[in-house]
Amino acid sequence: MPKVRNIILLLLVAGALWHFYGDTFNHSGISGVYEDIHSDINGIKENPEVVKTIDYLNKEIKLLVGKIKGSTEEGEKLNQAVPDKPELDGPSEQPFSVHNVELNDDRAQVEQQVGPPKRSSMNEYGVNWDAYHENYHNFFMVAYNENDKVIGLYTNQDLLTSTNGISFSSTRDSVLTTLDEPLKYLQKGLVNYQIQDNKEYDMFDINNSYVTIFYDIHENSTVTAIQLISDDLEKQRENFFTKPSELLKEGFEYQLFDLTNAARVNHNLSVLSWDESVRLTARNHSKDMADNNYFGHLNPKGQSPFDRMTQDNITYRMAGENLAAGQTSSIFAHEGLMNSLGHRENKLHTGFESLAVGVAFSDESQPFYTENYLTK
């Protein structure tokens, strides 16, 4: 029976070849048939639709491998020891405290309990955010004045205590019930800037400080982050958008990277490494958007994020891109991206291994942010 099947198969192949190449055989013999077949195969390989399909299948296979690899690595990392959460006390002088730190505390007090910062980078207020964490667990940032007094605080982890009962389990409705009416405008010089009423955050003027409470709209609008800025520090920022500088650009980039990792830890995901090789690609796209007044993943040349990475000789098995524009800081950009489902999926993707962020500013000092995620 196998022999019969083989004979039938050979006859079918021969019949197909005769159907397509019989005339060529009659005119040019076997060598002519060989040349025609070779030419047809090359034509198929070079057909744009075939190339596109092969490229798509290749990327999908890489994505599947990345997901399998990512799931395995996540399982291994979840078994690693997680630092203990600090024992949190209620604030003694202020309405809120973060990691037992309050506005007006001394740097020495802060670093006595948590050690030196892991990173210090420029923010939109012209001072540094000092980031404290244990491999992004127990993450919070502090800004100090020239006298080493705490004038700014931020966290997107459950390190908040308050005198009014607001915590990371509070909903937006309960926050609005507990606190006074949120601010509708923020004054800079002679201009009142309207605060967005998008239900993703509210800003309050409380006890000589500006308190911004961010909500996770994908988690029943519960509190997901808090920023505390002293009145004096807010007054230091004269314009809505801060004047650009190299230090501010780098600051926004590293802060967005740190915030992403702190969010990943919140969701029991692995920490991403910084990938310097793709930073320039990200910066160039942000600059292109800022210079040419557009916002999108496709640039005016029709290049996708993957085209730009390939052009810059970036090799990868899997890649993704997030964009933001118009937010005054990396914090507002990050929180906005986390509330946008597609961008959130990139930030919390189990298969990604590294990230670089590129920032550029428009002529009006408006920041553009590009996050490029990779698995190599």
Residue 65 within any structural domain of the chain: yes
The Cα 160–Cα 28 span in angstroms is 84
The Cα 372–Cα 280 span in angstroms is 10
State how many domains the chain has: 3
How confident is residue 196, by pLDDT bands cut at 50, 70 and 90? confident
Average the pLDDT over each of 236-240, 250-254, 263-267 and give the range with the smallest value. 236-240
- 216 shares its domain with 252: no
- 135 shares its domain with 199: yes
In this predicted model, what pLDDT tens digit does every residue of 324-336 receive, in sequence order? 999 999 999 999 9
More confident residue, 53 or 369: 369
| Domain ranges, residue 66 | 2-70
- 255 shares its domain with 329: yes
Tokens of 240: 């809505």
Coil vs helix vs strand at 1: coil
- 102 shares its domain with 167: yes
The Cα 206–Cα 102 span in angstroms is 13
- 326 shares its domain with 295: yes
- 232 shares its domain with 253: no
In this structure, what CATH number is given to the domain that contains residue 159?
Answer: 3.40.33.10
- 100 shares its domain with 14: no
Last residue of a domain, one of 218, 236, 254: 236
- 221 shares its domain with 320: no
Rounded to the nearest integer, the mean pLDDT of the chain is 88
pLDDT, residue 189, reads 82
How confident is residue 51, by pLDDT bands cut at 50, 70 and 90? very low
In whole angstroms, how far apart are CA 352 and each of 22, 74, 196, 264, 278?
Answer: 53, 11, 32, 11, 14
Contacts of 224 (CB under 8 A, 6+ apart): 156, 168, 214, 215, 216, 335, 338
What does the angle CA 365 – CA 366 – CA 371 come to, to the nearest 5 degrees? 125
- 132 shares its domain with 200: yes
- 329 shares its domain with 347: yes
Residue 152 within any structural domain of the chain: yes
